[in-house]
Structure 1
Amino acid sequence: MDSSLKIHAFDFDGTLTNRDTLLEFIRFVRGDKAFFLCMLRYLPLLLLMKLGLYPNWKVKQKVFAHCFGGMKLDEFNKWCVRFASENISLLRPKGIQKINEVLEEGCKVVIVSASINNWVEPFFAGLDGVTVIGTMIEERDGVVTGRFISKNCYGEEKVRRLIQLYPGRNSYWLAAYGDSRGDFELLDFANESHYKPFRK
């Protein structure tokens, strides 16, 4: 193993943030009333998902399409940038401190998230050396369709996407940071793993 290449892979929601950003983003863009009505509409599917009887990605895509399908991509991206700039308080200070420390050491940092790339990336816009791997959305003719063009970046998909970015697993040392069931495969894949590391 070439220990000169060191990669730190961080989950986003719950690990680097104190709340789920999909829900916060919906509330930020659509408002409390629309958020409540959306959650009420999909409550049966959300309950089935919690029981393991309905796929996580299907519920997520339905909720996303309901809230943002048909929005112009430029408008959507402007909301994403605004969301990040106005919600820095969602980030766990210890997590950002750790990212800054490993960047100063010359390590690579990858954010591996089930959330949508578009609103995760602006949180790290000022940090050189940070790459975001997330769930990617479809757009046609400059309009958000509401569908995903990648698999939900969750579980095994996190490992697959990381290998896609950094093939040759034996050529680097990997540390992983996560907080939920969706991170277990990534944590197991790493040389060094940290579960719920940045909480008080």
Structure 2
Amino acid sequence: MVLALDHAHHQEYPGIHVQKTEIVSQPIAFFDFDGTITTKDTLLEIFKYRHGKARFYLGFLLNSPFLVAYKAGIISNQLAKEMTLKLFFGGMKAEAFNAFCEQFAKEIIPSLVRSKALTEIDKLKKAGAEVVIVSASPENWLQPWCREHQVKLLGTQLEVNNGKITGKIKGNNCHGEEKVRRIREAYDLTAWKEVYCYGDTSGDKPMLALGTHSFYQPFR
């Protein structure tokens, strides 16, 4: 079921000053990726793709104390994610990692994408909208898909040290309020009369609050 939320007012964020600009007649649209556009979480799927199901489940078993600590609120979403990324990709050469992500984007992501989501994106693009994917998943494997579909991307960025993936996140995990911060950093939303937002979890609610038209779990 589609739940559409229309917002008459936008939340103000202290310390962020934007200059009023000419209003853009075409809309801008922000989409969460995992679970909204796709049927599954690409973070989990890329772990399986890399190591196979047996090693994937073994890895999560070894990582279970951190996942339990996250669920209990003892550690942050970001730390739990970093520990998992380090376990599966830590020490991998960045060049090889990016090539692997390109392969994953080509071979796996298309099978995960909801047809209704693609239809909505195409409809918005035909209306002249700027479409932006805003995701907690790393940009490395989302960028190839975004490039193919000619949409913009704001995602989690991974740290590279001495040419290798460390498993750490550069800056903050693009989740919750960080999605709002990244959007406001990249776009002056006062320039758009219509702002469309699409998400599927509580972590997307801050972003959904930005929309003049917001949709929760719209493609299920």
Question: Does residue 139 of structure 2 align to residue 117 of structure 1?
Answer: yes
Question: Does residue 177 of structure 2 align to residue 156 of structure 1?
Answer: yes
Give CA-to-partner distance per residue, 1:4-38, whole Å, 9 cap, x none. 14210000010001011111001101222221111
User: 5+ residue gaps in structure 1?
Assistant: none
Give CA-to-partner distance per residue, 1:136-160, whole Å, 9 cap, x none. 0011232112111120000000000
d(CA) in 2 for partners of 1:78 and 1:99? 26
**Equivalences for 1:72-87 in 2 at 5 Å?**
72-87=93-108
Give CA-to-partner distance per residue, 1:48-85, whole Å, 9 cap, x none. 32233321111001000111111011111111111111
d(CA) in 2 for partners of 1:166 and 1:3? 12
Q: Secondary structure at the match of 1:101?
A: helix
**Equivalences for 1:126-141 in 2 at 5 Å?**
126-128=148-150, 130-141=151-162
**1:9 paired residue number:** 30
Which piece of structure 1 moves more, 45-54 or 188-197? Answer: 45-54
- State the identity as a percent: 40
- How many residue pairs match? The answer is 197
**2:127 paired residue number:** 105
RMSD of equivalent CA atoms: 1.4
Question: Does residue 51 of structure 2 align to residue 30 of structure 1?
Answer: yes
**2:40 paired residue number:** 19
**Equivalences for 1:39-54 in 2 at 5 Å?**
39-54=60-75
**Shift, 1:45, TM fit:** 2.2
d(CA) in 2 for partners of 1:166 and 1:74? 30
**Shift, 1:185, TM fit:** 0.2
d(CA) in 1 for partners of 2:219 and 2:172? 27
User: 5+ residue gaps in structure 2?
Assistant: 1-21
